[in-house]
Amino acid sequence: MIEFINQIDIEILLWLNGNHNLFWDAVMWFATGTFTWLPFYMILSFLLIWKYKRDAILMILLIALLITISDQLASGIFKPFFERLRPSHSPYLTGKLHLVNDYRGGKFGFISSHAANVFSLAFYLTLVAKEKLKWIPYVLIPWAIFVSLSRVYLGVHYPSDIIVPTILSIPIAWIVARIYKTYNPILIKKIA
């Protein structure tokens, strides 16, 4: 079964990575960039503050906890435990991948920190902010899919590297959303 999953992983990776051109190289490179989404995050924070006023304080602070949990789960636990080479570091795939700007990422890739972080954020804000920002899931979930697929396109993750953190991000987002919903009314009363 594992061999079958690995084969599917490789076939999807090679198909997505193999359908490259200059336009998509630029788009996917942009999507995966560390500072690419900084203006987006700033606008999102502004909208949360505008719509939720003081309720946004804990909501935004918990995003730091959320990202820390998802990032540490990916980079601090999964990657060192499984030590699965990224496609870009796999001897089997040498010469078969199109690497944009010769980007290879770190040595190990299971699971994707990018996918863990963006999906955790998307699910968390869907749970806590969809009441006043109804469009949140329709923007953040496609955005998370886009960012995650950029990692496969660039040849630094297998599809399973993004599917697993997508699933794991659901309980992480739910737990952090429960913290927000439990403690936010208390925080607001203390500030007032």
In a domain, 23, yes or no: no
Q: What is the pLDDT of residue 144?
A: 95
In a domain, 116, yes or no: yes
In a domain, 186, yes or no: yes
Q: What is the pTM of this model?
A: 0.89
Q: Judge whether 126 and 176 are in contact, CB under 8 Å.
A: no
Condensed to tens digits (0 to 9), the pLDDT of residues 49-90 reads: 999 988 888 999 999 999 999 999 999 999 999 999 999 999
Question: Token pair for residue 53?
Answer: 């006023």
Condensed to tens digits (0 to 9), the pLDDT of residues 138-154 reads: 999 999 999 999 999 99
Query: Residue 115 is part of which domain span?
Result: 28-191
In a domain, 38, yes or no: yes
Number of domains in the chain: 1
Cα–Cα distances (Å) from 141 to 18, 122, 145, in that order, read: 25, 6, 6
- The answer to whether the Cα torsion of 80, 36, 164, 152 is positive or negative is negative
Neighbours of 123 (CB within 10 A): 24
Q: Place 184 in a pLDDT band, splitting at 50, 70 and 90.
A: confident
